[in-house]
């Protein structure tokens, strides 16, 4: 399978390769790279567009290693809370969904902001989108 995508971010490349793709081609230069990508994939070799491989190498250089993603400083519950905050739910709604008190949600929010050194809900939302915890579509 050769994936054609508009995304060059290493997260997307990693997800596709883990799902079994043999190639990842970024649309931006698809016309120029298509033949080389197809040849590589047809001969059983991996192919990753230079734009995408650049972001993978940058991750490695920044200490995220070959696994792609850095270890998250957040617990699973903090990620759940962050997702709901980023999706625009109120503290009361989050508490109800997670079966916890409003005070617990407020504590989670404070811990998340402290761990990530963020100061506003807008920054939390931006972080959640960038890290794939939520998307713009939600």
In DSSP terms, 60 is beta-bridged to none
* pLDDT for position 8: 83
Dist. CA 87–CA 99, nearest whole Å: 18
Measured CA to CA, the distance from residue 83 to residue 22 in angstroms comes to: 31
Q: What is the pLDDT of residues 34-57, one digit of tens each?
A: 999 999 889 888 899 888 888 777
Cα atoms in the Cβ-side hemisphere of radius 13 Å centred on 138? 14
Mean residue pLDDT across the chain? 86
Model confidence band, residue 66 (pLDDT cutoffs 50, 70, 90): very low
Residue written as token pair 């009361």:
92
What is the set of domains in the chain, with CATH numbers? 2-64 (3.40.50.2300), 76-130 (1.10.10.10)
């Amino acid at each position: 399978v050769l994936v054609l995508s508009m995304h060059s971010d290493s997260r997307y490349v990693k997800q596709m390769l883990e799902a079994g793709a043999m190639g990842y081609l970024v649309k931006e230069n698809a016309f120029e790279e298509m033949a080389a990508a197809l040849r590589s994939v047809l001969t059983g070799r991996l192919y990753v567009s230079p734009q995408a491989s650049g972001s993978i190498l940058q991750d490695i250089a920044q200490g995220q290693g070959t696994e792609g993603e850095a270890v998250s400083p957040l617990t699973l519950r903090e990620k759940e809370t962050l997702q709901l905050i980023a999706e625009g739910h109120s503290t009361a709604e989050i508490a109800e969904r997670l079966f916890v008190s409003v005070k617990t949600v407020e504590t989670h929010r404070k811990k998340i902001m402290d761990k990530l050194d963020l100061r506003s809900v807008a920054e939390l939302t931006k972080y959640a989108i960038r890290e794939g915890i939520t998307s713009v579509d939600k």
